[in-house]
Amino acid sequence: MTFSPQLEERFAKMLTRYPEGRTRSAVVPMLIYGQDEVGAVTKELIEEIARRCKVTPLQVDEVVGYYSMLHRKPQGKFHVQVCTNISCQLVGGEELYEHAKKKLGLGHKETSADGLFSLEEVECMGACSWAPAVEINYDFHHFVTPEKLDQLIDGLRKAH
């Protein structure tokens, strides 16, 4: 399995960062960067990372279920993450999440039929003082209102 030149370069660098014989340390970063390019943690990705990190595929596989950002099935092109944890809850985060469900016609961890959007109710993302917060892929959006979320989603739909 080969990756884009940029990712190959990143992976090569990652494997040299840790003390000698400790390439297993690169497993989690390689999984998340690999997933971003491949679209999901596939069997092939697991085997490839295992080969490069010199561990068994099982040692890679067992961490996948532990980390909430790793997923075995593809998510939408735009993964909408709405925080409902306490700081967001107090200023309308739960209502915002309900609004997002209706707007996208999706439930928690569901992906639209056209593969464009997926939705997830997430735990604290570290945007508490600028709540309610939404992260779409890796982009943070602060002080999000239902209207602002509609604009964001409509904008992404149009731009696509």
Q: Closer to another protein by CB, 7 or 91: give it.
A: 91
> Residue 98 CB, nearest distance to another protein (Å)?
14
Q: Closer to another protein by CB, 26 or 100: give it.
A: 26
Q: Please name the amino acid found at residue 154.
A: D
Tell me the sheet residues that pair with 139: 136
Residues of this chain that interact with another protein (CB under 8 A) are 17-19, 22, 24-29, 31-33, 53, 55, 59, 62-63, 66-70, 84-87, 89-91, 123-131, 135, 138-140, 142
> Residue 25 CB, nearest distance to another protein (Å)?
5
- Contacts by 64-73, CB closer than 8 A, 24 or more apart: 64/31, 67/28, 67/31, 67/32, 68/122, 68/123, 69/32, 70/31, 70/32, 70/35, 70/41, 71/35, 71/40, 71/41, 72/40, 72/41, 72/42, 73/40, 73/111
> Residue 38 CB, nearest distance to another protein (Å)?
14
Q: Closer to another protein by CB, 139 or 147: give it.
A: 139
Q: Closer to another protein by CB, 21 or 113: give it.
A: 21
Q: 15 vs 48, 66, 119, CA distance in Å?
A: 13, 22, 33
